[in-house]
């Protein structure tokens, strides 16, 4: 069965105050887990696209695109 977009975060609590995603990633807060879960949503919109020809990077956060632009040598 397909995973729920936001599973019951209380059930995801792991030792040492960590919150585990079904992908194996461990996060420190329930809010971070909820935010991370968005990356698994196949319908998520990514409005920020790299303008360089041949680069297919896109993000749903402007600051991530800015970081991509400064760290990549196109």
- The answer to whether position 23 is within a domain reads yes
- The answer to whether position 71 is within a domain reads no
Examine the pLDDT at 17 and tell me if it is beyond 90: no
- The answer to whether position 32 is within a domain reads yes
pTM of structure = 0.56
Residue 40: per-residue pLDDT: 95
- The answer to whether position 63 is within a domain reads no
- The answer to whether position 50 is within a domain reads no
Q: Is residue 47 a contact partner of residue 29, using CB atoms and an 8 Å limit?
A: no
Number of domains observed in the structure of the chain: 1
- The answer to whether position 1 is within a domain reads no
Q: Does residue 74 or residue 56 have the better pLDDT? A: 56
- The answer to whether position 53 is within a domain reads no
72 Cβ contact partners less than 8 Å away, ≥ 6 residues apart: 50, 52, 55, 57
**Residue 15 belongs to what domain range?**
9-40
């Amino acid at each position: 069965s397909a995973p729920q977009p936001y599973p019951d975060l209380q059930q995801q609590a792991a030792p040492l105050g960590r919150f585990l995603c079904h992908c194996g990633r461990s996060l420190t807060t329930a809010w971070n887990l909820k935010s991370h879960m968005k990356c698994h949503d196949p319908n998520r919109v990514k409005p920020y696209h790299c303008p360089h020809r041949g680069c297919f990077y896109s993000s749903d956060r402007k600051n991530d695109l800015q970081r991509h632009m400064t760290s990549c040598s196109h």
